[in-house]
Amino acid sequence: MSSAVQILHKDRIPATGCLVIPGRLEASELPQLISLFSGRPITWLIEESTDLDPEIGALLADSGSGAAFSDDDNDPAAAGEQLKASIAKEGVLIFVPAKQAARSSIPCHIPGKTLATLGAFGLPALPIVIDYPQETALCIERPGSLPRAVIAIGKVIPAKDSSGSALRQGLLEAAEESFSSRSFLKGSLATALLEGLKKHGGRSKVYDGSDDSTLGFDRLLAAALVLSKHIKEETDNARVGIILPPGKAGLVANLAVIFAGKTPVNLNFTASHEAIRSAMRQAGLDRYITADPFVRKVASFPWPPNRDLIFIERVLPTLKSKIITWTILSKILPTGVIATLFGIGKKKNHDEAVLLFTSGSSGEPKGVALTHRNMLANVCQFSSRLEAPEGSKLLGCLPLFHSFGTTATLWFPVIEGVDLVTYPNPLDTKRLGELIVQHGVNILLATPTFLRGYMKRVDAEQLKSLELVVTGAEKLPASLTEAFKEKFGIEPQEGYGLTETSPATNVNLPNPPAEPGKGLIPSTRQGSVGHMLPGLAVRLTNPATDQPCPLDHQGIIWFKGSNIFPGYLNNPKKTEEVLTKDGWFRTGDVGRVDADGFLFIEGRISRFSKIAGEMVPHETVEAAINKALGLDSEAERKIAIVGIPDPQKGEAIYLLSTIAGPALEQECIDLRYKLMDAGLPSLWCPKAIVPVHEIPVLASGKLDLKGCENLALSDA
């Protein structure tokens, strides 16, 4: 690790007096902080109940200039008036945070109550983040290339706008700038994967639960390298389709495509035929990697002609001698030599690395092109906050066409050297429970729907090895959290993310161990989706006016960070709707951030339902129903789709109908068969039909979503 300290945005330091708020402060960085305000009167400010680091306390005592306040003061504005003298004549009032036990890379070590008091002083404030890159370094990064610390100076918050939430927002934005300045983000995902496989080749393994085979990272590397040459011979296209479930074949295929300098496109084989064909067309695919047994298993998939398919289980045996050779050579040759021989690492930074598809409001899938920078950022963000101990084993059963499956069960374990236990079906929890016992899996990534399967089919003893359970894709009900904890003795932690954010943005994690003489910055809060991951800034806007609103008010969630995608594939109009020119992404979800920095998701703006982790577009389902029932020519709306809360799958699809007959249950079954025959996934079919006199419509002609929801809820 370098001894250098990097300073960002020194020009933001105002010439006038202000309250300086470092998110955290170590004694080693105190001299640097003082030097930033050289020649100006400094007054040190502490919360009166704070136990300071002894080294910092000694330095402050020598300064002879200090002030104190209390979090319990009933009139912090009056206290702020008294402190104004300290910032007169270019003076600076520097708050000194207490030492805290906290998870790695948390930018704010100030308790929410203290931050709120500081904001209530009514003083102009300057947030400063002191970041330690070593805390978020990937294991393949060279410590000597990292600065000891980065001091990122945020934007001044005017006195009239100062509040606890404004201070937190300013700290998160400064932390994002610090993280985004990291040099590794300019690199190549392919090179990082190569370095990971080389570094962990002799120790880390993939355990494939479908056939109980084991594949070391050294053999995985050799197979991927050799297959990458074959892929280059097969196609000149920039992208290659992959139609495989989780397992060693899916892992080898994705690595090989990346090493070939191409973009893997993992196709959603559970989507509708129309959506699959659209994704194939948009991606411009002419080759697809799959396997014979999977082709037979998913016979209903709109398979391309055999000439376009690369059957991995046929190709790899023909390359066996080369794979053996490269198993040996890859251990001997330096990473740089292997990269040169195979042309690895030419694409990097803002170049496309992965292409995934997410449903659009019209049902036409939107291509989400994620860059090398995006992927490297999110692997780093996720792994540094997770802090998985050496020797960890991760259960990899999430679909590879989901962004979390790609980042968390492909790239993350390879780069960080985490053993991977794979299985193709996340619903087969009986077998998954057996694999957890067999291999001593300690990290489980799942959805609430999958957790319910464990509750029904797995014995408590089978999950004894688990140390961390993280859920995403849908809301984690408190009742499920409690029931799972009661049965298995471990509390599931809820996370959050979107395909466009690569995907992880937030995660709850167990609180760090308490330390004598330190406070505690909590890292879990039930009902929330956790803190923002390192290097991610957040802001909220009023849903009605689109104007900025405080983080502690309900608003539409926006994110900014190196993990934010650059735009939708060949769709500038949709891109402009969600991305600003300076990189802020509009999620379409509504939420708020509490005093301690936890994000709560409180609703959705767009007309989608998230069911068992799948995004279901209401308009597409409506169009399919109109076609199935012969309603396309109707002038008035006869039906509408509504998503309502469902304790089993997060949400359920209800159909409002003005033409429903008396046998509602049978009508619903008949409609389901018609829709499935038309290629609509079973998950997208209505759970129930609600008869109504008319479909609520606004004066503008648009569907009255709230009115529809009320009708559905009254019948649920």
Task: Render pLDDT for 225-240 as a digit per residue (tens, 0 to 9).
Answer: 999 999 999 999 999 9
Work out the average pLDDT over 521-546: 94
Tokens standing for 525? 């809060």
Give the pLDDT confidence of 490-515 residue by residue, as tens digits. Answer: 999 999 999 999 999 999 999 999 98
Q: How far is it, in rounded angstroms, from Cα 102 to Cα 440?
A: 27
Question: Could you give the domains of the chain?
Answer: 5-181 (3.90.190), 189-520 (3.40.50.12780), 616-715 (3.30.300.30)
Tokens standing for 218? 């050294």
Q: How far is it, in rounded angstroms, from Cα 124 to Cα 116?
A: 14
Work out the average pLDDT over 292-304: 95
To which H or E segment does residue 264 belong?
Answer: strand 263-266
Q: How far is it, in rounded angstroms, from Cα 596 to Cα 691?
A: 45
Using the 8-state DSSP alphabet, how is residue 703 labeled?
B
pLDDT band (50, 70, 90) for residue 473: confident
pLDDT band (50, 70, 90) for residue 699: very low
Amino acid at 472: G
Strand partners, 168: none
Pairing of strands 443-446, 468-471: parallel
pLDDT band (50, 70, 90) for residue 53: confident
Number of Cβ within 10 Å of residue 440's Cβ equals 14
Q: How far is it, in rounded angstroms, from Cα 692 to Cα 563?
A: 45
Contact in structure between 481 and 469 (CB atoms under 8 Å): no
Tokens standing for 600? 């709560």
pLDDT band (50, 70, 90) for residue 606: low
How many Cα atoms occupy the beta-carbon half-sphere of 437 within 13 Å?
11
Chain centroid to CA 278 = 26
Work out the average pLDDT over 616-641: 80
Residue whose pair of structure tokens reads 């992959």 in the numeric block? 242
pTM listed for this prediction: 0.86
Q: How far is it, in rounded angstroms, from Cα 466 to Cα 458?
A: 13
Give the pLDDT confidence of 118-130 residue by residue, as tens digits. Answer: 999 999 999 999 9
Give the pLDDT confidence of 376-435 residue by residue, as tens digits. Answer: 999 999 999 998 988 999 999 999 998 999 999 999 999 999 999 999 998 899 999 999
Among the residue ranges 206-220, 403-417, 470-484, the one predicted with the least confidence is: 470-484
Mean pLDDT of the chain: 92
Across 273-293, b (16+ Cβ under 10 Å) vs e yields ebbbebbbebbebbbbbbbee
Chain centroid to CA 409 = 13
Q: What pLDDT score does 144 carry? A: 83
Q: What pLDDT score does 436 carry? A: 98
Q: What pLDDT score does 707 carry? A: 84
Amino acid at 185: L
E-assigned strand segments in 438-551: 443-446, 468-471, 493-497, 504-507, 519-520, 531-532, 537-541, 548-549
Pairing of strands 555-560, 537-541: antiparallel
Instruction: Look at residue 200 and tell me whether its pLDDT is greater than 90.
Output: yes
Among the residue ranges 282-291, 416-425, 663-672, the one predicted with the least confidence is: 663-672
pLDDT band (50, 70, 90) for residue 360: very low
Instruction: Look at residue 175 and tell me whether its pLDDT is greater than 60.
Output: yes
Contact in structure between 357 and 369 (CB atoms under 8 Å): no
Q: What is the DSSP string of 517-542?
A: T-EE-----TTS--EEPTT-EEEEE-
Virtual CA dihedral for 660, 661, 665, 670, nearest 10 degrees? Answer: -80
Q: What pLDDT score does 361 carry? A: 35
Number of Cβ within 10 Å of residue 486's Cβ equals 11
pLDDT band (50, 70, 90) for residue 54: confident
- CA neighbor of 455 nearest in space, from 432, 472, 424: 432
How many Cα atoms occupy the beta-carbon half-sphere of 243 within 13 Å?
28
606 or 47, greater pLDDT = 47
Q: What pLDDT score does 700 carry? A: 38
Q: How far is it, in rounded angstroms, from Cα 444 to Cα 321?
A: 36
Amino acid at 474: E
- CA neighbor of 597 nearest in space, from 65, 103, 7: 103
CA distances from 164 to 105, 241, 598 (A): 20, 48, 13
Q: What pLDDT score does 646 carry? A: 87
Q: What pLDDT score does 474 carry? A: 72
Instruction: Look at residue 294 and tell me whether its pLDDT is greater than 60.
Output: yes
Work out the average pLDDT over 599-619: 77
SS3 152: strand
Instruction: Look at residue 634 and tell me whether its pLDDT is greater than 60.
Output: no
544 or 188, greater pLDDT = 188
Tokens standing for 259? 């090493």
Work out the average pLDDT over 360-387: 87
Q: How far is it, in rounded angstroms, from Cα 201 to Cα 625?
A: 52
Instruction: Look at residue 338 and tell me whether its pLDDT is greater than 50.
Output: yes
Q: How far is it, in rounded angstroms, from Cα 222 to Cα 219?
A: 5
SS3 257: helix
Tokens standing for 22? 């470092």
Using the 8-state DSSP alphabet, how is residue 235 labeled?
-
To which H or E segment does residue 122 belong?
Answer: none
Work out the average pLDDT over 552-558: 93
Instruction: Look at residue 543 and tell me whether its pLDDT is greater than 60.
Output: yes
Residue whose pair of structure tokens reads 């298993």 in the numeric block? 297
Show the 3-state SS of 651-682.
EEEEEEECCCCCCHHHHHHHHHHHHHHCCCCH
- CA neighbor of 281 nearest in space, from 234, 241, 231, 232: 241
To which H or E segment does residue 600 belong?
Answer: strand 599-604
Q: What percent of the chain has pLDDT over 70?
A: 96
